[in-house]
Structure 1
Amino acid sequence: MCPSAAKQSLFRPLSVLLVALCIFQSPAHAQSALTGGGPQASAEQEGGDSGGDGAESGSETGAATDPLAALLEVLRDDTARQELVTELERRVSGASEAVTSGSEAGPVEDTIDSAAEAASEEPRMSLGGRIAVFTQEIAETAAAQGTALWQSLTSTGSVFDGLQGDELSVLFEAFRGLLIVIALTIAVYITLRMLALPYFRSMGRRATEGSWVRCVFIFMGSIVVDTLIVLAAWAIGYAVTVLYLGDYGQIGFRQSLYLNAFLIVEMIKVLLRAVISPSAAGLRPLPISDQGARRLNRVLTVTVTILGYGQLLILPITNQSVSYAAGVGVSAVLSVIVVLYLIFAVLRYHTPVSNWLHDALVPAKREEGGIEDAQTSDEKRELTGITGSLVKRWHWFALAYLAFMFITVMSRPTDVVLAYVLASVKIAAAVVVASAIFSALSRAMARGISLPDTVNQKLPLLETRLNGSVPKLLFVLRYAVAAVVILFVLGIIGIIDYGTWLSSEAGLGFSSALVSVFFILLVAYGIWLAMTSWVDYRLNPDYGSVPTSRETTLLTLLRNAATIAILILTLMFTLSEIGLDIGPLLASAGVLGLAIGFGAQKMVQDIITGVFIQFENAINVGDVVTVGGTTGTVEKLTVRSVSLRDLHGVFHIIPFSSVDMVSNFMRDFSYFVCDMGVAYRENVDEVKQAMLDGFEELKADPDQGQFITSDLEWFGLNSFGDSAVVCRARIKTLPGKQWGVGRAYNGILKRIFDARGIEIPFPHQTIFFGEAKDGTTQPIRLEKAEDTNAPHGDAPSAPASDSAPDNGGKHWHDDDPDTGDGDDAPR
């Protein structure tokens, strides 16, 4: 057989081996791949051996089908080994040039190509597939746990089989030797507790009256004092036992067991009292009443006492004095006692707890106190739906859990029962911590944020903004805490393994994205709050320099533009953090903006016109302008529209696309133009002097004189009207003050003109009959009106005049002083 053929026959199984190593990377897969080709390979090998081709062909076939043998042959052949190393180096370095032509290299290259393709093709699962796998794992885990529990119930014997009947006598004998140390430690502990009880109550009262910082320090101090009481009783018991009981300087095994059990059990009770605080309501983090706290403390104290002393004292004594099987039975008896006691407590207190849960979920109807006060509350709004059902039937879930624990105690070993108890303690601790956090967040939401008066004066809207956003943030945090507790409980139960998931690539990505999004939103809100607070401070006229109308306009526009920019940037960073590619979104936004530009040309025209109006400083907030035929005060100004409120209080929103001219009454200075009409008979010089005197009086006015910036500008006789001659004058004032100054000036002129007899005419008409050249005019017949007040027949009627009275050729008009229709006549 030629060497090239032999090399080719060795390279092919070696390539198969490399493919297998690339695909099966786990140890189990690698092991299964390296152990041969399975039944098919065995069959092929057997076929090759029985083919009758001679020893040489049989050896070639065996080398070709057995990967391990093929690898061994390649490693032994220097030439083949060198070619394999060369080919692998070329693959690793990524060289694009082909290997030197040779028939033996072709199959290796093809095989390695197929191996790389096979290794690179990793299956990708869709979102639905991932959800299906996740639910499948949960269902399989639950089924496996249920199967294991059922098997333990049906396959094991009773846990009470190890009891021999003499356990009580052994325990009585053991406790007889421990009676002195037990009585001593308990007496010392109770005495110290009674002495410290008034101190605890005083600390609770001080905590309710102080700040939260002081409350925290008082709370920690109470825990320290309670811990010192336990340590003092334990130390005294240890000292008396070592020095006076038994041999001097020595302590017995059972005495050591009791003292250690006392220390551990009482320290657990210290933690329970720190959370429940039955004697000091001011130090209680849980929102329950005093009587409810005492009942809860009593139930937990009995449970901890039985389990603690039972597992740490009674069980070791039974294991040492009787047998291990008897210890298992005693442990089961103690656990059953605890379970039955808890069932009794649940059935006894399920109504007060239901009412407390109801009132906790209905804050508006909640009474002060907690469980007991909630029980006696008559006015309650009933909860409906799933929440109401869960609140009313919470004890069924508790009884189901206790039933499960009872079955576990009866069927599983002691270490498994202790593991379940420890898991239950973790769950209870998580619920208690979550309840305390919920209570603190609820109180913070109800209390709100109160800033100092100095801050409120400088930043009047800061407290309002904080009270509008912080409660929402706290509400979200409540749901976050609830989600964390649920995940923790599911992990303790074993339904999900959140630790493994969080350490995985997907879990790390999700948690890091969640934290990043939270901080992005928090930083964005902080920037927006700081920016708006700075704008409010600059617009506050009570601090710093008084902002001009131009500054007010620009700061308002800056606040609006910065808010939009922060919103857009926050949205972009958030989408980027959660894994979305914002590049296509930006391109889509550009296309959308182009489409809007073509479809909403009016809006584009509004914005462009508004930008140029701002560049030219044509309109500012507070100006009185005429825009689009409407005159009013500018209340709001954006880049798209201007909002005016006219004299009648009507609010107008005018887009800039409809504005072809802006008339601003508030630029630099203003004028009040006074056109004063007087009768034709009046002397203009007298009128001028009267107006000058009125102006001097106006300048002396403390209210309006401060707005006048120059002397009266007299223009003289301006026009001849139908009933009056018009004299014009002008007063220069500060911007926007011309109307008030003008009204005050008009009042002064009316009073002066009346005092000096200068007539201010009203529109009147003259009846003209015409006149001939010789002075004669058309006669008019006048007839005396009949006196309607005289009796009929008493007064003869006046004779009619046949000719008009001689008035010397003068025109008779209706403003003759004798007619009584002068300036004082009613109009």
Structure 2
Amino acid sequence: MVTLPTRRLLPLLWLLFALPLGLAQAQSQTTDTPPYSALADLLENEQSRDALVNELRNLAQGTPAEANAAASAAAEPSASRELAQSTRAIAEGLGDQFTVLADVLNNLAEGRLTGDNGQFSMSGLLDASLNLGLVIAATLAAFLLLRRLAGPLFSRLDHWSRHGAGNTPVLRLVLCVALAAALDVLAVGLAYVGGNLVATFAVGVTGEQSTQASLFLNAFMVIELLKAGLRMLFSSRYNGLRLLPIHATEAAYWNRWLALLISLLGYGVMVMEPLVAIHVSPALSQGLNTLLMLAAFGYAVAVILKNRRRLSAALRDRANQSSLTASKLSLQLLARTWHWLALGYFTVVLVLVLLSPSNALPFVLFATLKTLGVIGVGALLSALLGQIIGRRIRLSDDLRRKLPLLEARLNSYIPNGLRFVRLLLLTAVILLSLNAWQVLDLATWYASDAGGVLMGRIVSVAFILAMAAAIWVGLASLIEHKLNPETGTGMPSARTQTLLSLFRSALAVLLVTMTVMIALSELGIDIGPLIAGAGVLGLAIGFGAQKLVQDVITGVFIQIENAMNTGDVVTLGGITGTAEKLSIRSVGIRDLSGTYHIIPFSSVDTVSNYMRDFAYHVGEYRVAYRENIDEAIAHLQHAFEELVADPEQKPYVLEALEVAGVIALADSSVNIRVRIMTAPGMQWAVGRAYNRLVKMHFEQAGIEIPYPQSTVHFEGSRQGEAPALKLERATSSARHTGTCG
């Protein structure tokens, strides 16, 4: 491969819309040697010979000062000078080619033109064209016939691709397209063989194949294989055999345009140009090559400008339909710049072919094919990953019952991991495309120490992240298995639930910290200063946030002493409620009114837990002074017996009724205390049920539950005698009235 020095590359990049650097490496500057036939043609032509002589004399008359100035200017090139030189070289090359083409046409008209085979002969050219036409007709007829015979197979593949059952749709599409491409290639190969047979045994001298027939058949093979590749992307007749997700009308349009462009360039460069060089003139062949390139460039530019807005709108619609952020941004960027990229590509191809026609065209062709192949494979893999990302992972019912969070966890981690793989795939496609255009030399870079080390580190970091995710999923699933009451071990205790929940949180923090540290170490970052800095920072935080440290230390001891667990009813800091969430620093309590309180452990002096081992309902029942106390106690016992007989309350009553007896002679009542041992947390429910039964039994027995009463004494003698209270019937203005007598 012929290369271009870097100093000549910068202005050319600026001129050609900053397209890949390696495009220019196909040019030839100082190492190309002109063919001897071209030099002979140059000397035979009077005008070109005189121009060469004049140029040599002008160079010979140059002064040393001018030579030194030119050498100095060449030693310190600037971007503007290089740009001007490159532009002038292109313009002068085009002008010279058109001048030579005009001379050749003039000599052709005068009959003074010779080709590679000697004196030009119009009859020989017509005879060769007739023989070539027969080969072309036979080859194309065989190819069309074979394609028609393969039509039913294409239809079956198309139907299976669109309506087949099983397998991933993308894989089924790729398989059908690959089989269709194999049939296409087989048809091209058989037509090529048939054309060779016709050219060898039916045209010209039997047993020999003419040069023009060989040129056409080779061009036919290359061009039709390229068209077969186009049909894989833009199949217009079979929707199930088209890799690109576009409408059939769009596919037919772009397939027709690209096929015409390939045919124009392929048959023109590979068939017409060599034939003209052989039978007419090499100079005319070179001029024809220039005209073909200009015509193809103009055609491409016209099609690009015509479809600029329409294709941009289609790309924006596709971006809006994409669910992945990276794909959406890429498509939006491509919608804005695709026409500039296409114009730059065709401009670079034109310039390279004009500057170095013998080397540039093969380089551009193979680089383009490599790029399209890399992009096609990357697009297929990306589509396959996209379908896997969008497909939800389903676990068995038994596994989902035992590990209810595992399915959600897998559906979170695996798609994110595949998105990361998709990003790596995009990076690989970009790097391989740049390598195809020789902007990068991936093989040399990978063989170098830096490349090998970097790739090893990337693989190591990816392995570390994957292992960390697997460890987290495994341990979190194990904790979830222990916490699940349906796994066969029964309902875990409140302490077990609290400790396992705290362990899961601590495990997450520890695993993330270790993974980050190990990954940074694998990337070559010294984590020693980070660890030391973390220690200093922790010490500073310890001094500046003593309250936080106290919270943590108190929380650790509360958990060690099993003072409370999630779900316990506790009193902390004067607040009574249910402990809903425990962390290493605080506890969240929901009180009876539904208010949620977060209490730091540093403010906790006493933990009152109502849920340890057992509880008591302590009831104090008041009866009137005139009631029989023993009878009241008996009815309290009857109410307890009825409570125990209730199947809903019996499981929560642990022991017989404990009667403490009369505990107070209050102002208006005699107070009797009883106590019922219950299961922890059920003392309130049992107490409410027992109070209901006591009220019912006292009412049935006529035992008065007094309310506050007052005794009124009237003034009298020391012996307690007082005047009688006289009552009179009330008048119409009042229902009752009383007077003191």
Matched, 1:737 2:682: yes
Matched, 1:548 2:493: yes
Matched, 1:302 2:302: no
Residue identity in the other structure for 2:533: S
Q: Residue 286 of structure 1 contacts residue 435 of structure 1 at CA under 8 Å; is this kept in 2?
A: no
Cα separation, 1, equivalents of 2:724 and 2:269 = 139
Aligned to 1:204, which of 153, 161, 164?
161
Tell me the CA shift for residue 482 of structure 1: 4.2
Tell me the CA shift for residue 562 of structure 1: 0.6
Cα root mean square deviation, aligned: 4.0
Tell me the CA shift for residue 264 of structure 1: 4.1
Q: Residue 672 of structure 1 contacts residue 742 of structure 1 at CA under 8 Å; is this kept in 2?
A: yes
Structure 1 residues 288 and 225, CA gap change in structure 2 (3 angstroms): closer
Residue identity in the other structure for 2:130: E
Structure 1 residues 317 and 724, CA gap change in structure 2 (3 angstroms): farther
Structure 1 residues 225 and 285, CA gap change in structure 2 (3 angstroms): closer
Structure 1 residues 786 and 517, CA gap change in structure 2 (3 angstroms): farther
- SS of 2:594's partner is coil
Give the corresponding residue for 1:460.
404
Cα separation, 1, equivalents of 2:303 and 2:527 = 58
Cα separation, 1, equivalents of 2:607 and 2:333 = 67
Tell me the CA shift for residue 587 of structure 1: 1.9
Residue identity in the other structure for 1:185: A
Residues 454-507 of structure 1 deviation map (CA, whole Å, 9 limit, x = unaligned)? 444333333444444555555555554444444444455555555544443333
Tell me the CA shift for residue 155 of structure 1: 5.2
Cα separation, 2, equivalents of 1:232 and 1:146 = 50
Percent of aligned pairs sharing the same letter: 37
1:74-473 pair list within 5 angstroms: 151=89, 153-154=91-92, 157-158=96-97, 161=100, 169=126, 172-206=129-163, 210-212=166-168, 215-217=170-172, 219-232=174-187, 234-235=189-190, 238=193, 242=197, 246=201, 252=209, 258=216, 261-282=219-240, 284-310=242-268, 313-314=271-272, 328-363=286-321, 391-392=335-336, 394-437=338-381, 439-440=383-384, 449=393, 451-470=395-414, 472-473=416-417
Q: Residue 336 of structure 1 contacts residue 409 of structure 1 at CA under 8 Å; is this kept in 2?
A: no
Cα separation, 1, equivalents of 2:191 and 2:526 = 69
Q: Residue 236 of structure 2 contacts residue 251 of structure 2 at CA under 8 Å; is this kept in 1?
A: yes
Structure 1 residues 168 and 391, CA gap change in structure 2 (3 angstroms): farther
Give the corresponding residue for 1:85.
none
- SS of 1:731's partner is strand
Tell me the CA shift for residue 224 of structure 1: 1.8
Structure 1 residues 155 and 233, CA gap change in structure 2 (3 angstroms): closer
Cα separation, 2, equivalents of 1:203 and 1:788 = 105
With the length of structure 2 as denominator, give the TM-score of the two structures.
0.75
Tell me the CA shift for residue 557 of structure 1: 0.8
Tell me the CA shift for residue 354 of structure 1: 0.8
150-159 or 735-744: which moved more?
A: 150-159
Structure 1 residues 339 and 575, CA gap change in structure 2 (3 angstroms): same
Give the corresponding residue for 2:9.
none
Residues 313-361 of structure 1 deviation map (CA, whole Å, 9 limit, x = unaligned)? 5556556555655554554454444333322321332222111121133
Matched, 1:588 2:539: no
- SS of 1:344's partner is helix
Give the corresponding residue for 1:722.
667
Residue identity in the other structure for 1:651: Y
Residue identity in the other structure for 1:399: L
- SS of 1:362's partner is helix
334-343 or 729-738: which moved more?
A: 334-343
Residues 494-543 of structure 1 deviation map (CA, whole Å, 9 limit, x = unaligned)? 55555544443333333333333333223222322332233223222233
Aligned to 1:696, which of 629, 641, 647?
641
Aligned to 1:539, which of 460, 483, 495?
483
Tell me the CA shift for residue 202 of structure 1: 0.7
Cα separation, 2, equivalents of 1:802 and 1:584 = 99
Give the corresponding residue for 2:624.
679
With the length of structure 1 as denominator, give the TM-score of the two structures.
0.68
Matched, 1:566 2:506: no
Residues 283-330 of structure 1 deviation map (CA, whole Å, 9 limit, x = unaligned)? 544332332223222233333344444555555655655565555455
Unaligned runs of 5+ in 1: 1-138, 367-380, 791-796, 804-827
Unaligned runs of 5+ in 2: 1-76, 109-121
356-365 or 444-453: which moved more?
A: 444-453
Cα separation, 1, equivalents of 2:194 and 2:433 = 43
Query: What is the number of residues matched between the two proteins?
Result: 639
Cα separation, 2, equivalents of 1:387 and 1:150 = 38
Give the structure with higher Rg (CA): 1
Structure 1 residues 739 and 169, CA gap change in structure 2 (3 angstroms): farther
- SS of 2:245's partner is coil
Q: Residue 161 of structure 2 contacts residue 176 of structure 2 at CA under 8 Å; is this kept in 1?
A: no
Structure 1 residues 147 and 577, CA gap change in structure 2 (3 angstroms): farther
1:468-483 pair list within 5 angstroms: 468-470=412-414, 472-483=416-427
Cα separation, 2, equivalents of 1:568 and 1:754 = 69
232-241 or 624-633: which moved more?
A: 232-241
Q: Residue 150 of structure 2 contacts residue 183 of structure 2 at CA under 8 Å; is this kept in 1?
A: no
Answer 1 or 2: higher relative contact order, Cα 8 Å, separation at least 6.
Answer: 2
Residues 75-100 of structure 1 deviation map (CA, whole Å, 9 limit, x = unaligned)? xxxxxxxxxxxxxxxxxxxxxxxxxx
Residue identity in the other structure for 1:294: A
Residue identity in the other structure for 1:426: K
